[in-house]
Homo-oligomer: A and B are copies of this chain.
Amino acid sequence: MTRSELVTHIKTRQTYLCVGLDTDITKLPQHLRSHPDAVFAFNKAIIDATKAHCVSYKINTAFYESQGLKGWEAMEKTVRYIPDTHFTIADAKRGDIGNTSAQYAKTFFEVLPFDAVTVAPYMGEDSVRPFLDYAGKWTIVLGLTSNTGSNDFQRLGLAGNDEGKKLYEKVLNKTASWGSTDNLMFVVGATRASDLAHIRTIIPEHFLLVPGVGAQGGSMAEVSHYGMNQDCGLLVNASRAVIFAGGGEDFAEKAREAAKAYHAEMKNYLSKIG
């Protein structure tokens, strides 16, 4: 999906919600647990129920890998089930030396039909480049994450030519030079939304994937206020707060309601950019 297609979907549907399919098998509704294909059955119902209210789905690969072969099968069926009108993200946090990153890129862009994959920056340019080399696909690099561990390294101050900068600022700045606003996004956590205002001074045009709204405590209002640009420029992810909004036989209806509530809020914020 191109940037202009993504922006059109956001403006037409009036939502920038990304629903995170962190489908933890131990949290599935009781009545689904004996289903032979429980994870896919759950995801299918969630997608059907929420697709009018979101513009993207993010599959957290860890929850599928931990189910072994059956999990990978569920992941593949899920990504193929998601309509073409929705931007698909493999939240995989991959990254390795060039020949190995090329294999990961092949996995998510050729073997599986994802639009985007999340990538960790620690190993530098040649670990990111193989993902960027895929025409029509997106690389989403970790900038500033929403967990407490983001303080350990991401917020360290730098010396020398980077005096006054923090590591995550350098990561945003340097990584931005490897791609364009048409094939590169950044993960920016929502737990301190005021950081977003500062981040927008470094990367005003890029799309940001913002996790941490909902279960992790981030505020949709603040994220939208500080993060939005003229193209919207945001994909705000909610995982548990949507998919596990209910725990019974009406789980899909509860997920729809949760997604619909975000949608209503987003419509309001989008009206400000016209």
Q: Residues 113-154 of chain A: 1 if any B CB is under 8 Å from the residue's CB, otherwise 0?
A: 000000011111111100000000000001001111111111
Known: A76-B69, A163-B159. A123 touches B100 (CB 8 A): no
Known: A95-B120, A122-B122, A154-B124. A63 touches B147 (CB 8 A): no
Q: Residues 89-130 of chain A: 1 if any B CB is under 8 Å from the residue's CB, otherwise 0?
A: 001011111111101101100111000000011111111100
A residues sitting closer than 8 Å to B (CB atoms) are 22, 24, 60, 62-63, 65-69, 72-73, 76, 91, 93-101, 103-104, 106-107, 110-112, 120-128, 142, 145-154, 156-160, 162-163, 167, 170-171, 174, 216
Contacts of A128 in B (CB 8 A): 149
| Distance of A160 from chain B, by nearest CB (Å) | 5
| Distance of A178 from chain B, by nearest CB (Å) | 9
Q: Is the CB of B127 within 8 A of A147?
A: yes
Contacts of A122 in B (CB 8 A): 120-122, 142, 145, 153-154
Q: Is the CB of A106 within 8 A of B66?
A: yes
Contacts of A146 in B (CB 8 A): 97
Contacts of A149 in B (CB 8 A): 97, 123-128
Q: Is the CB of A124 within 8 A of B100?
A: no
Known: A73-B69, A124-B150, A167-B156. A62 touches B104 (CB 8 A): yes
Q: Is the CB of A97 within 8 A of B65?
A: no
Contacts of A65 in B (CB 8 A): 103-104, 107, 111
A94–B112 Cα distance when bound, in Å, is 19
Contacts of A101 in B (CB 8 A): 62
A234–B30 Cα distance when bound, in Å, is 48
Q: Is the CB of A95 within 8 A of B93?
A: yes
Q: Is the CB of B159 within 8 A of A147?
A: no
Q: Is the CB of B123 within 8 A of A147?
A: yes
State which of B67, B76, B93, B142 has its C-beta within 8 Å of the C-beta of A68: B76
Q: Interface centre among A22, A104, A153, A167, by most B CB within 10 Å?
A: A153
What residue of chain B has the Cβ atom nearest to residue A125's Cβ?
B149
Contacts of A153 in B (CB 8 A): 121-122, 124, 167, 170-171, 174
Q: Interface centre among A68, A120, A122, A146, by most B CB within 10 Å?
A: A122
Contacts of A106 in B (CB 8 A): 66
Q: Is the CB of A111 within 8 A of B152?
A: no
What residue of chain B has the Cβ atom nearest to residue A166's Cβ?
B159
| Distance of A142 from chain B, by nearest CB (Å) | 6
| Distance of A107 from chain B, by nearest CB (Å) | 4
